[in-house]
Amino acid sequence: MWAILSILVENKPGILFKVTHLFRARNFNIDSISVGTTENPDYSKMTITTYGDEKQIDQIVKQLDKMIDTVKVEHLDEHKTVFRELSIFKIKLSNANDSMEINKLANAYGGKVHDVKKDSIMVELTATPDQIKAFEELAKPFGILDVARTGVAALQRSGV
């Protein structure tokens, strides 16, 4: 299963290394990762998405929780969480109509268009990984020249 982990850590140098090393050393895999300071500059929040069965995810959470620099580790329920990833696609423009088609596609997915050139266009998309993947599939026939994706950022909804 795909799991979203929210990890509150002390904002100290080297913490990211420790967390990512834990995944490597314990033979887990990171699907995506995003890190940023919280409203309290003493803490950072990492959002890591990973795959594993229930037992493996449980073990990852326990191992992360055991780390002395982690303040709180949560396995977020996908259905009770707002989670988004930012992606930027550079897409090839081959025909005169491509720009319009890509604009329509971007609009359909709530994306923004940037840097329209004669032979390429960039689309910024903030969405769930599934939606980004769907957009990617539809953009592929035009020719994706480059793509950059952040990791998932996630927050559990209130009152759940």
Q: Where does this chain bind another protein (CB under 8 A)?
A: 9-10, 14, 17-18, 21, 25, 55, 58-59, 62-63, 65-72
CA angle 125, 78, 64 (to 5 degrees): 100
Q: What is the CA radius of gyration of the chain?
A: 18
Nearer Cβ to another protein (26/112): 26
CB of 86 to another protein, least distance (A): 29
Phi, psi of 151 (to 5 degrees): -80, 175
Residue with smaller CB distance to another protein, 66 or 80: 66
In single-letter form, the type of residue at position 144 comes to I
* Nearest distance, CB of residue 40 and another protein, angstroms: 12
- Residues 90 and 113: their CA atoms lie apart, in Å, by 10
The nearest distance, CB 159 to another protein, in angstroms, is: 26
Structure tokens at 146: 């480059």
Longest dimension (CA), the chain: 57
62 or 80, CB closer to another protein? 62
Q: Which of 129, 136, 148 is nearest to 102 (CA)?
A: 136
Q: How far is the CB of 125 from another protein (least distance, A)?
A: 35
Tokens matching residue 79: 């259905």
- 134 Cα distance to chain centroid: 15
The residue (of 21 and 157) whose beta carbon lies closer to another protein is 21
Instruction: Pick the closer one to another protein by CB: 32 or 63.
Output: 63
What is the nearest approach in angstroms of another protein to the Cβ of residue 18? 6
